[in-house]
């Protein structure tokens, strides 16, 4: 059977609908039709070739969102090179560890980012790269590489302390584009606002690939700003139809003075994922007239689940992460790898063209991530109802055992977030002489509120079993989070 070559929707739309608007860089105001975008990508191919970049070589990017990064990634794709976006918010030693792991030949960076390029790696500022693209002649068209070759390496956000590089092939990215296009109801007239960071799977793949696949428009923002994002969602000239964010970003939107959801007249839904999203919050958004379509995905598999963006389904399934996307094969299994009954809790296992082939330079971790018959073990615990909707329970590794009973911190956190004094909560298990382990809750209180241990314990006991109620409560000014909004529980475990 002939090898499947990399899909290139931009090139297709450049021929089919050349004058349709493909991309807007909001910071600079630059705009590209599909014909112009395709031409810019091919000129970027020429620039990369002038740097000696070829198939399999890594191109690292240490920069904020811009259309130039999208052009760079698409050019790398056409060459068969591997694009590696690095979290620019990391400390220098953390960045250096990632760069050493991926060993790039070229490093494209923001001018104000402190860099130390590895030996043999040429650094070039984004502005200089963009100017070179503008001045270059388009490279000759060449056959596209095979779709199952590594095309992107995304380093996980490090909630457990040590990021690892997830390999994303173009076959994986295409499957995610198709999956979200279906569950997110994406069309040729869709307009995505992208301000999630492009070193994250949502920013680089879920925010870009579905809309470019369909021939829609992507609006690139340099980063999230609650006030600015609120205004953009309400701007009829932009006409944003799809917006992705983590629950923490949604919370910042609603708390900002410029929040006016009645003006979000073109928005089909607010798509959320990446962290627990309490049902009460989802229903609150529904009352404001905004469909919050919660979902579940991961760097290793892209879009996996999504609640249909329709009010009647959201109203009865709030708190769920939704139904599996079309190319996703999903099982929920017990410790022996047997499928559990509806309503029972087990680990999510995945298979499908969206699932990564493994981790960069980590053969042992790749092998342990898959079952003997090829299912990807997510480490996420969930249950499925009679209608097929899946509700996330917690990470397997975050579960602790208190007095012989399994405790999933996410359940406890949901109970805590229902308390009016609490804006954020995270729970970990700690050693206890009597019970083996008990819960320690870290909470962020609303301004002017004081920590009341007995009141919080009583509140929790009214919502969850007593063995799940934390034995300790600690107040923090803010929870430690990754750039994608996930709580860093390894940092909490390290607190005295």
Q: For residue range 122-164, what is the model confidence (pLDDT) as tens digits? A: 899 999 999 999 999 999 999 999 999 999 999 985 544 567 9
Contacts of 380 (CB under 8 A, 6+ apart): 296, 298, 347, 348, 392, 394, 395, 396
Model confidence over 287-343: pLDDT tens digits? 999 999 999 999 999 999 999 999 999 999 999 999 999 999 999 999 899 999 999
**Collapsing DSSP states into helix, strand and coil, what is residue 16?**
helix
pLDDT at 434: 78
Pairing of strands 472-475, 436-445: parallel
Domains of the chain from N-terminus onward: 9-391 (3.40.50.12780), 399-494 (3.30.300.30)
Model confidence over 249-297: pLDDT tens digits? 898 999 999 999 999 999 999 999 877 788 999 999 999 999 999 999 9
pLDDT at 157: 59
Work out the average pLDDT over 11-19.
98
Pairing of strands 21-25, 58-62: unpaired
pTM of whole model > 0.95? no
CA 445 to CA 420: how far, in whole Å?
A: 9
Minimum mean pLDDT range among 53-57, 104-108, 385-389, 412-416: 412-416
CA 103 to CA 179: how far, in whole Å?
A: 32
Contacts of 465 (CB under 8 A, 6+ apart): 405
Q: Give the count of beta carbons closer than 10 Å to the beta carbon of residue 100.
A: 11
pLDDT at 160: 47
pLDDT at 349: 98
Band (493; pLDDT cuts 50, 70, 90): confident
345 by Cβ neighbours in 10 Å (0-12 / 13-18 / 19+) ranks as middle
Model confidence over 62-118: pLDDT tens digits? 999 999 999 999 999 999 999 999 988 877 877 888 999 999 999 999 988 777 778
pLDDT at 483: 63
Cα 89 vs. chain centroid, distance in angstroms?
16
Pairing of strands 436-445, 422-432: antiparallel
Q: Give the CA angle between residues 235, 239, 241 to the nearest 5°.
A: 120
Work out the average pLDDT over 237-241.
98
pLDDT at 159: 45
Q: Which two tokens stand for residue 250?
A: 């949604």
pLDDT at 61: 96
Report for 14-23, 110-119, 162-171, 415-424: range of highest mean pLDDT: 14-23
- E-strand ranges in 389-461 read 390-395, 400-402, 405-407, 422-432, 436-445
Model confidence over 383-397: pLDDT tens digits? 999 999 999 987 777
pLDDT at 404 over 80: no
Model confidence over 219-230: pLDDT tens digits? 999 999 999 999
| Alpha helix stretches (DSSP H) within 121-260 | 126-135, 170-183, 201, 209-214, 226-233, 247-255
Work out the average pLDDT over 33-53.
97
In the chain, the percentage of residues whose pLDDT exceeds 90 is 77
CA 258 to CA 245: how far, in whole Å?
A: 17
Torsion of CA 342, 344, 346, 349, to 10 degrees: 0
Band (1; pLDDT cuts 50, 70, 90): low
Higher pLDDT, 360 or 278: 360
């Amino acid at each position: 059977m002939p090898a499947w070559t990399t899909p290139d929707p931009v090139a297709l739309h450049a021929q089919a609908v050349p004058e349709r608007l493909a991309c807007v860089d909001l910071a600079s105001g630059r705009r590209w039709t599909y014909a112009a975008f395709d031409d810019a990508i091919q000129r970027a191919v020429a620039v990369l070739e002038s740097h000696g970049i070829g198939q399999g070589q890594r191109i690292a990017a240490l920069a904020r969102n811009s259309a130039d990064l999208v052009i760079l990634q698409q050019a790398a794709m056409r060459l068969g090179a591997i694009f590696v976006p690095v979290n620019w918010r990391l400390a220098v030693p953390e960045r250096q560890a990632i760069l050493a792991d991926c060993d790039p030949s070229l490093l494209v960076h923001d001018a104000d980012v402190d860099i130390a390029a590895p030996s043999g790696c040429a650094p070039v500022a984004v502005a200089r790269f963009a100017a070179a693209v503008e001045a270059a002649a388009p490279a000759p068209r060449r056959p596209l590489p095979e779709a199952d070759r590594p095309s992107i390496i995304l380093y996980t956000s490090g909630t457990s302390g040590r990021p690892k590089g997830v390999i994303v092939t173009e076959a994986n990215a295409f499957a995610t584009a198709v999956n979200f296009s279906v569950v997110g109801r994406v069309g040729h007239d869709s307009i995505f606002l992208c301000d999630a960071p492009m070193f994250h799977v949502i920013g680089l793949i879920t925010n870009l690939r579905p809309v470019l696949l369909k021939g829609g428009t992507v609006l690139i923002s340099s980063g999230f700003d609650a006030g600015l994002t609120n205004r953009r969602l309400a701007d009829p000239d932009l006409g944003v139809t799809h917006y992705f964010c983590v629950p923490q970003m949604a919370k910042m939107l609603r708390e900002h003075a410029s929040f006016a959801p009645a003006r979000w007249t073109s928005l089909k839904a607010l798509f959320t994922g990446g962290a627990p999203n309490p049902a009460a919050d989802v229903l609150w958004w529904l009352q404001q007239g905004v469909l919050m379509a919660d979902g579940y995905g991961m760097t290793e598999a892209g879009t996996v689940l999504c609640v249909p963006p329709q009010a009647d389904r959201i109203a009865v399934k709030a708190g769920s992460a939704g139904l599996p996307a079309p190319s996703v094969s999903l099982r929920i299994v017990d410790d022996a790898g047997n499928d559990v009954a509806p309503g029972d809790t087990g680990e999510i296992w995945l298979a499908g063209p969206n699932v990564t082939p493994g981790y960069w330079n980590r053969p042992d971790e790749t092998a342990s991530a898959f079952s003997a018959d090829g299912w990807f073990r997510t480490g996420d615990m969930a249950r499925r109802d009679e209608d097929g909707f899946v509700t996330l329970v917690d990470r397997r590794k975050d579960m602790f055992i208190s007095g012989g009973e399994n405790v999933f911190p996410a359940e406890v956190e949901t109970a805590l977030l229902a308390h009016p004094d609490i804006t954020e909560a995270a729970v970990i298990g700690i050693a206890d002489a009597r019970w083996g382990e008990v819960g320690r809750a870290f909470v962020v209180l609303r301004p002017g509120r004081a920590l009341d241990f007995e009141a919080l314990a009583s509140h929790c006991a009214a919502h969850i079993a007593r063995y799940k109620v934390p034995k300790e409560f600690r107040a923090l000014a803010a929870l430690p989070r990754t750039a994608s909004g996930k709580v860093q529980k390894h940092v909490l475990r390290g607190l005295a």
